[in-house]
């Protein structure tokens, strides 16, 4: 079958890479794609947020399956429009995508459905937000309610930092319209993990567990980012915890959406915190995580095309996902300065040598400048490897990264450190 993938980041590169290796798939198209995706798919220069252009592309190409990678086209209702014209789509409809499009909606739905989550309030008035922050004290979490590319979360260690963040968001300075409403949450202490599920109606199938590293700097310090690396599986997610997340987080959330008339066919991403008082849900995304998608696709041995088409055609029940028993680890290379300002157009060399050292290089924020690959975004590459242990996969990636020639590149040096500590403790 012909599959059209929407998007042009690291997640979409991983999806195209896996689909191109699926026996059920004869051709992969990607809009708009990137220089790395071009090796796996026929790229078409239509932006992921150009809904009119994407509809025209689908009508012209007639793919059997459309996979919507990023959240913005889902929030804009692309899946609804495609389904209305008879296309099989992997991606939730607009009403279900509000789960990611509005943190206020998401938290309210969790509260109504009894999903365990942090105490919260939603505010649009800076003075009321300040009063709440002073009442609750620090540390405290301030979130822009709308889409902010994974960067709209401030974990404030002082009341003043939280007040400044809330005022900055509500003034429109930080995240534009995404910050016109802020969600203020109690600070949760524990270990984070990513639990993803393939959902089709009432059928919910867990993907392998993973763990993202959202902070910019080693030791989980510095500002929040869209993710600086990930690995799978996450040893902190035991089979018992996976079952508990399925029963207490995923099922009630999907049921609550269904009760509101929302149609969820796609990936439900639950970011969870393992606290002393049990599982708490931090956030929901309505698509594969980035960078979690890269290690997950590296480990998946099932035919991805078959799985996603079965979900899109409401026949997912009975599907069993198969996984490589090895561990996978992805290190994100960002542009120096990210998540703030950074310089674009810097030449990146040595990527073939990085891959020859046993890794897969997934492109995220890259462009072609003649025969050169240059950086065009904040998170630029996802260097991914498999290993018998997380430590082995980590060593492969960091050894390979020494072959990259890009002075403007930045990456954490400790991705996977929690799992590696557990491996050492258990050895």
**Average pLDDT over the chain, rounded to an integer:** 94
CATH of the domain at 346: 3.90.600.10
Please indicate, yes or no, if residue 120 is contained in any of the structural domains: no
CATH of the domain at 12: 3.40.50.20
Q: Cα angle at 80 between 78 and 85, to 5 degrees?
A: 100
pLDDT value at residue 32? 98
One domain for residues 307 and 201: yes
pLDDT per position as a tens digit, 172-201:
666 666 557 888 999 999 999 999 999 999
pLDDT per position as a tens digit, 372-383:
999 999 999 999
| Cβ atoms of residues 305 and 4 within 8 Å | no
pLDDT value at residue 391? 98
- Number of domains observed in the structure of the chain: 4
Please indicate, yes or no, if residue 198 is contained in any of the structural domains: yes
Q: Which residues pair with 186 in a beta bridge?
A: 140
Q: Is the pLDDT of residue 150 over 70?
A: no
pLDDT per position as a tens digit, 80-89:
999 999 999 9
One domain for residues 195 and 304: yes
pLDDT value at residue 212? 95
The residue written with tokens 């969870």 in the block is 272
Cα 180 from Cα 183, distance rounded (Å): 10
One domain for residues 195 and 166: no
Identify the three-state secondary structure at position 311. helix
Give residue 293's domain range.
190-312
pLDDT confidence bin for 168, thresholds 50/70/90:
confident
pLDDT value at residue 146? 75
Q: What is the DSSP letter of 208?
A: P
Average pLDDT over every residue of 266-287: 95
Cα 220 from Cα 330, distance rounded (Å): 16
CA torsion sign, 287 to 291 to 292 to 295? positive
Half-sphere exposure of 372 (CA within 13 A, CB side): 11
pLDDT value at residue 178? 58
What percent of the chain stands above pLDDT 90? 84
One domain for residues 217 and 137: no
Check whether the bond before 263 is cis (ω within 30° of 0): no
| Cβ atoms of residues 186 and 140 within 8 Å | yes
One domain for residues 283 and 391: no
One domain for residues 89 and 155: no
One domain for residues 365 and 385: yes
pLDDT value at residue 148? 67
Cα 76 from Cα 70, distance rounded (Å): 11
pLDDT value at residue 174? 60
Helix, strand, coil percent values for the chain (each to nearest 5)? 35, 30, 35
What does the block give as tokens for 190?
A: 């524990």
What does the block give as tokens for 298?
A: 């590296």
Comparing 38 with 101, which gets the higher pLDDT? 38
What does the block give as tokens for 191?
A: 């270990």
Half-sphere exposure of 340 (CA within 13 A, CB side): 3
pLDDT per position as a tens digit, 27-66:
999 999 999 999 999 999 999 999 999 999 999 999 999 9
């Amino acid at each position: 079958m012909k599959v059209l993938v929407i998007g042009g980041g690291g997640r979409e590169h991983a999806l195209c890479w896996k689909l191109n290796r699926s026996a059920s798939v004869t051709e992969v198209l990607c809009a708009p794609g990137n220089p790395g995706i071009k090796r796996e798919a026929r790229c078409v220069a239509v932006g992921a947020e150009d809904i009119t252009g994407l509809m025209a592309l689908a009508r012209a190409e007639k793919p059997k399956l459309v996979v919507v990678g990023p959240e913005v086209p889902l929030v804009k209702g692309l899946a609804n429009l495609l389904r209305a014209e008879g296309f099989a789509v992997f991606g939730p409809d607009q009403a279900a995508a509000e789960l990611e499009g509005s943190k206020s909606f998401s938290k309210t739905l969790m509260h109504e459905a009894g999903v365990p989550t942090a105490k919260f309030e939603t505010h649009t008035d800076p003075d009321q937000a300040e009063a709440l922050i002073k009442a609750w004290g620090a540390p405290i979490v301030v979130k822009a309610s709308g889409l902010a590319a994974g960067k709209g979360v401030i974990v404030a260690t002082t009341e003043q930092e939280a007040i400044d963040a809330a005022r900055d968001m509500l003034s429109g300075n930080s995240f534009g319209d995404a910050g016109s409403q802020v969600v203020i949450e109690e600070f949760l202490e524990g270990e984070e993990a990513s639990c993803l599920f393939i959902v089709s109606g009432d059928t919910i199938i867990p993907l392998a567990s993973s763990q993202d590293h959202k902070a910019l700097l080693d030791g989980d310090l510095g500002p929040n980012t869209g993710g600086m690396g990930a690995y799978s599986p996450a040893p902190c997610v035991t089979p018992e915890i996976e079952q508990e997340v399925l029963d207490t987080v995923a099922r009630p959330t999907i049921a609550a959406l269904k009760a509101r008339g929302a149609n969820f066919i796609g990936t439900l991403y639950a970011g969870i915190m393992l606290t002393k008082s049990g599982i708490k849900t931090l956030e929901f995304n309505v698509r594969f995580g980035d960078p979690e998608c890269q290690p997950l696709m590296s480990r998946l041995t099932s035919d991805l095309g078959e799985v996603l088409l079965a979900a899109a055609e409401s026949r997912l029940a009975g599907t069993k996902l198969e996984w490589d028993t090895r561990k996978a680890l992805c290190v994100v290379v960002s542009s120096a300065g990210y998540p703030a300002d950074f310089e674009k157009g810097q030449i990146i060399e040595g990527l073939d040598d990085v891959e020859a050292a046993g890794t897969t290089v997934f492109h995220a924020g890259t462009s072609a400048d003649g025969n050169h690959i240059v950086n065009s975004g904040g998170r630029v590459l996802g260097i991914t490897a498999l290993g018998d242990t997380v430590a082995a996969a980590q060593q492969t990636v960091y050894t390979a990264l020494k072959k990259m020639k890009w002075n403007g590149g930045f990456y954490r040096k400790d991705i996977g450190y929690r799992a590696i500590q557990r491996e050492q403790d258990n050895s």
